[in-house]
A and B are shown apart, each in its own frame.
Chain A
Amino acid sequence: MRRSSDDRKFRLSTGAFAALVLLIVIGIGFELTRQSMLSITKFGLKFWTTSTWDPVSGDFGALPFIWGTLYSAILALLIATPIALGIAIFISELSPRVLRQPLAYLTELLAAIPSIVYGLWGIFVLVPIVRKVEIAMGAKPALGVGMLSAALILAVMVIPFSSSVAREILKNVPSTQREAAYALGATRWEAIKVAIGFGKSGIIGAVMLGFGRALGETIAVTMVIGNSPQISASLFKPQYTMAAVIANEFTEAADELYLHALIEIGLLLFIITVAVNMISRLLIWSMKRRVTAPIIAPILEEAVA
Chain B
Amino acid sequence: MKLKSLLILVSIALAACQPSETKTSSAAFASTGPMTINGAGATFPYPIYSKWFDEYQKAHPDVRINYQSIGSGGGIKQLSAQTVFFGASDGPMTDAQLQAAPGAILHFPTVLGGVVPVYNVTGVTQALRFNGSVLADIYLGKITKWNDAAIVALNPGVKLPADDIAVVHRSDGSGTTYIFCDFLSKVSPDYKQKVGVSTSVNWPAGVGAKGNEGVSGLVRQTPGAIGYVELIYALQNKMSYGSVQNKAGQFVTASLDSVTAAAAGAAMPDDFRVSITNADGAAAYPIASFTWLLLYEHPKDAARGKAMVDFLKWALTDGQRFAPSLGYAPLPQPVVAKEMQALAKIQ
A residues adjacent to B (C-beta < 8 A):
52-57, 123-124, 127-128, 131, 140-146, 222-223, 226-228, 238, 240, 244, 247-254
Decide if A223 touches B173 in the complex (CB within 8 Å): no
B77 at the interface (CB under 8 A from A): yes
Q: How far is the CB of B258 from chain A (nearest CB, A)?
A: 27
Q: Could you say which of B164, B171, B201, B224 has the most chain A C-beta atoms within 10 Å of its C-beta?
A: B171
The complex places the Cα of A56 from the Cα of B173 at a distance, in Å, of: 12
Knowing A143-B222, A144-B221, say if A227 contacts B209 (CB, 8 Å): yes
B210 at the interface (CB under 8 A from A): yes
Knowing A144-B222, A249-B173, A254-B97, say if A228 contacts B208 (CB, 8 Å): yes
Interface flags for B193-219 (1: CB within 8 Å of A; 0: not) read: 001111111110011111000100110
Decide if B74 touches A248 in the complex (CB within 8 Å): no
Decide if B173 touches A227 in the complex (CB within 8 Å): no
The complex places the Cα of A66 from the Cα of B270 at a distance, in Å, of: 46
Decide if A252 touches B202 in the complex (CB within 8 Å): no
Can you list 23 A-B pairs, Cβ within 8 angstroms, ordered by A? Answer: A54-B202, A55-B198, A123-B221, A127-B221, A141-B224, A144-B222, A223-B210, A228-B206, A228-B208, A238-B206, A248-B171, A248-B172, A248-B173, A249-B173, A249-B200, A250-B173, A251-B73, A252-B73, A252-B174, A252-B175, A253-B173, A254-B72, A254-B73
Interface size, B (range): 35 or more
Q: How many A-B residue pairs have CB under 8 A?
A: 101
* Option from A55, A127, A240, A251 in Cβ contact (under 8 Å) with B172: A251
B227 at the interface (CB under 8 A from A): no
Residues of chain B lying within 8 A (CB to CB) of residue A124: 217
B residues adjacent to A (C-beta < 8 A):
70-74, 76-77, 97, 164-166, 171-175, 195-203, 206-210, 214, 217-218, 221-222, 224
Decide if B200 touches A227 in the complex (CB within 8 Å): no
Residues of chain B lying within 8 A (CB to CB) of residue A247: 172
| A-B complex: 5 closest residue pairs judged by Cβ atoms | A252-B173, A227-B208, A56-B196, A251-B71, A227-B171
Residues of chain A lying within 8 A (CB to CB) of residue B221: 123, 127-128, 131, 144
Knowing A54-B201, A228-B206, say if A145 contacts B77 (CB, 8 Å): no
Residues of chain B lying within 8 A (CB to CB) of residue A145: 207, 209, 218
The complex places the Cα of A52 from the Cα of B174 at a distance, in Å, of: 20
Decide if A143 touches B166 in the complex (CB within 8 Å): yes
The complex places the Cα of A123 from the Cα of B171 at a distance, in Å, of: 15
Knowing A143-B222, A145-B218, A251-B74, say if A56 contacts B197 (CB, 8 Å): yes
* Option from B72, B197, B210 in Cβ contact (under 8 Å) with A248: B210
Q: Could you say which of A57, A248, A249, A251 has the most chain B C-beta atoms within 10 Å of its C-beta?
A: A251
Residues of chain B lying within 8 A (CB to CB) of residue A238: 206-208
Write the chain B residue with the least CB distance to A123.
B217
Decide if B210 touches A222 in the complex (CB within 8 Å): yes
Decide if A252 touches B164 in the complex (CB within 8 Å): no
Residues of chain B lying within 8 A (CB to CB) of residue A55: 173, 198-202
Decide if A226 touches B172 in the complex (CB within 8 Å): no
Decide if A253 touches B73 in the complex (CB within 8 Å): yes
The complex places the Cα of A163 from the Cα of B206 at a distance, in Å, of: 37
Write the chain B residue with the least CB distance to A244.
B171
Residues of chain A lying within 8 A (CB to CB) of residue B210: 222-223, 227, 248
Q: How far is the CB of B263 from chain A (nearest CB, A)?
A: 23
Decide if B70 touches A251 in the complex (CB within 8 Å): yes
Q: How far is the CB of A160 from chain B (nearest CB, A)?
A: 25
Q: Could you say which of A142, A143, A252 has the most chain B C-beta atoms within 10 Å of its C-beta?
A: A252
Residues of chain B lying within 8 A (CB to CB) of residue A53: 202
Decide if A141 touches B164 in the complex (CB within 8 Å): yes
Decide if B208 touches A252 in the complex (CB within 8 Å): no
Write the chain A residue with the least CB distance to B208.
A227
The complex places the Cα of A228 from the Cα of B77 at a distance, in Å, of: 27
Decide if A143 touches B202 in the complex (CB within 8 Å): no
Residues of chain A lying within 8 A (CB to CB) of residue B77: 254
* Option from A52, A127, A131, A144 in Cβ contact (under 8 Å) with B202: A52
Q: Could you say which of A56, A145, A226, A247 has the most chain B C-beta atoms within 10 Å of its C-beta?
A: A56
